[in-house]
Chain A
Amino acid sequence: MENSTAWILAVYVTVVLICTIVILKFTKNKTKRVSNLRFFIQIAALGAIFMGLILGPFGTPRWLPLGISPRDRLVATEFFGDQFPDGLSVPVLACYYPNGRTVTCPVWQIQAYIFPFWETGRGYDVFYSTSGLEKLAIVFGLVIAMSVVLGRFFCGWLCPFGLYMDVISRIRKFFKVRHLSLSDRTNTALGQFRFVLIAMFLILSFIFSSYAIFGTELISGTIPGGPLGTEAGIVGVVNEPFCLVCPMRPLSVLIECALGYMNFSYVSQITYEPLWMTGFYVTSINLTVLIVVTILSFAYRRFWCRICPLGGLTALFSSFTPFKQIALTKLHKNEQKCTKCGICKRVCPTQATLMYEKNGGDVTESRCMLCVRCVEMCPYEDALAFKVAGKTVMKSRNWL
């Protein structure tokens, strides 16, 4: 690691720690202290996820068509090497496509390692010495380990798209516009739809990789080919089907273009037929989804989190049996101290209701993103708590 990189990281960590202490110490409003800290941690996480935009190197000839900043500055590259060169899988929407990222979205990796890289040694600008199955095992191993330890804490505190939606919520509050709430039935249906989305993109990825797995094309044009062995006709651009609709891709790419880190003319040049796809980095579909999600996030808090398949994947390994029993990060309710005032239900951004409905004990709900707003806002001492490995990290206080 170059000296300047080490220095920048040391300064970054120091600043984050100091700001954390300052926020905790000097936020007088008890009902906003943790929320402010969470907002700050989200911003710090955004910086960490796209640290390559700060570290550089800038303007290297290899990356110039794409933009001045590096394609990525991945963590633990020496450990992963050619066996797993795409980066550490962290269960946040650390989109694969923009420049400067340090970790990678597991959803992209799962799709990419099913098709077209089942056995192919070469991918997009990387070389693989391991099969797709092995890489999938690594992705799932990492996601499972992180989900068991932190669960959907990633969603509530670290996800950059979560930050985007929280900023929208703050803008809405600034204009004193009240949020809307979905009905319980709709909210539950959306929560279940996440798992349908996961299943859909997995099935599609398998269909597209049928030639590589079974030796037969289920859809015409799915035989890998092209200069790197990765493209396959029109299907080459849909080999990550979820990334076509994910709103994080156009958001991150367009923001980087606006800031000058990516070259918009390069981004806009790569276009494909048919007409419903305008581009590669930014398509008409994911741009539409971004606009729709943005509008809906203005009205409904954290709208995307209710249908995010990555959140669903994290929830699978933290909120459902058998992982539910061993998940280390949980909320806890003391039944004796709860007066059923309903504040926890009202303040929850994803309208998770189990904290209100459950009589007591550990509360593990797949819709909960561990933002701990309920614990922060609960006015009854020790009624609710946020626990890590059985130890109480935060509990509700009488702030009335």
Chain B
Amino acid sequence: MNRDRTTVLEWFSVFVVIALFSFSCYIGGVYAKSETVFTKLDTFDIPLNNSSISFATDGTYEKAILDNNVWNFDNLRFEDSPNSEMYTIKISAEDCKLTITYCRIYNSTFAGQQAKGARLRYTVIGRGTQFFDFGLDPKGGDWGVIFDDEYMKQNEEWSLSTEGTLTIMGATENVTLSYYGFPESFVNTINGSDNSILNQHSVVIVITIVSAIVVLSAAVIMKKKVEFTY
């Protein structure tokens, strides 16, 4: 009996150790993500493009990699952003220095449905070109680009690639980029994910059928009533 108790205790100890180890790995995993802090004084240079990027507020990021003259930021957070908001964006520039003064990419509701939105403001020194990729569906919303309170025309002062990269040309001081996302159901419709004629026009088809049935039924009822009367 003593041997049985020992065996049970041994197995129990093993189980507890394994459980604790697993638990600590999980907990450790949460904190295993590294966050790099940056300040207003830090610059992200793009030497080959004669440009640099900086931020007007302090913050953190998980990764910031310069790849092919484009800075790729993963899980970028600003000091004044809501805790839950982290951004994965790509920024590049040519022949200018830009300072990001405000950035938010958020979920909001529009007309009762969820839709994405984004705002990014920056100041630029030097008449160069800036590139932004927010990771947003280019067909999923409308873009607005404002230079010093004036909306700029697409394909003149700015352009949007099919992959969703915004290219800003000719900005000299303050720029605001705005993204007004469409609700998902609308995006699905314009992207043709619900392609069949029946699905796209189901309401008018159903209403037409119902109206026709109502009119025909009424005609039949009234005809029978007239026949019955005579």
Tell me the A residues contacting B by CB distance below 8 Å.
Answer: 62, 77, 79-85, 121, 125-127, 129-130, 134, 137-138, 141-142, 144-145, 148-149, 325-328, 389-390
Contacts and interface: CB of A to CB of B under 8 A. Distances in A.
B188 to A, nearest CB: 9
A148 B208 contact: no
A326 B222 contact: yes
B222 A127 contact: no
Interface stretch (B24-32, B47-55, B178-186): B178-186
A141 B182 contact: no
B226 to A, nearest CB: 9
B1 interface: no
Contact of A149 (B112, B207, B214): B214
B189 A141 contact: no
Nearest to B187: A127
Nearest to A128: B186
A126 B202 CA distance: 18
B221 interface: yes
A135 to B, nearest CB: 8
29 contacts: A77-B112, A81-B185, A82-B183, A82-B185, A82-B189, A83-B200, A83-B202, A84-B203, A85-B111, A125-B111, A127-B183, A127-B186, A129-B190, A129-B200, A130-B203, A134-B204, A137-B207, A138-B204, A141-B208, A145-B211, A145-B214, A145-B215, A148-B215, A148-B218, A149-B218, A326-B218, A326-B221, A327-B222, A390-B222
Contacts of A130: 200-201, 203-204
B207 A138 contact: yes
Contacts of A80: 203
Contacts, number: 85
A148 B228 CA distance: 21
Nearest to A73: B112
**Which 6 A-B pairs rank lowest in CB-CB distance, beginning with the nearest?**
A390-B225, A326-B218, A141-B211, A141-B207, A129-B189, A127-B186
Consensus secondary structure, chain A interface: helix
Contact of A83 (B112, B204, B219): B204
Name, among B112, B206, B224, the residue most crowded by chain A CB atoms within 10 Å (CB to CB): B112
B210 interface: yes
A79 B203 contact: yes
Contacts of B110: 125
Nearest to A126: B111
A389 B201 CA distance: 32
A81 B211 contact: no
A127 B112 CA distance: 11
A85 B182 CA distance: 14
Contacts of B218: 148-149, 326-328, 389
B215 A134 contact: no
Given A145-B214, A389-B225, 4 more contacts: A82-B185, A83-B203, A134-B204, A326-B221
B195 interface: no
A328 B204 contact: no
Contacts of B224: 390
A48 to B, nearest CB: 20
A325 B203 contact: no
A329 to B, nearest CB: 10
B222 A121 contact: no
Contacts of B202: 83
Given A141-B211, A144-B215, A134 B201 contact: yes
Contacts of A62: 109
Nearest to A143: B211
A142 B183 contact: no
Nearest to B225: A390
Given A141-B207, A142-B207, A145-B214, A82 B222 contact: no
B27 to A, nearest CB: 37
A81 B190 contact: no
A129 B221 contact: no
A137 B185 contact: no
Nearest to B203: A83
A82 to B, nearest CB: 5
B111 to A, nearest CB: 5
B52 to A, nearest CB: 34
A82 B183 CA distance: 10
Contacts of B182: 127
A134 B207 CA distance: 11
Contacts of A325: 219, 222
A74 B219 CA distance: 31
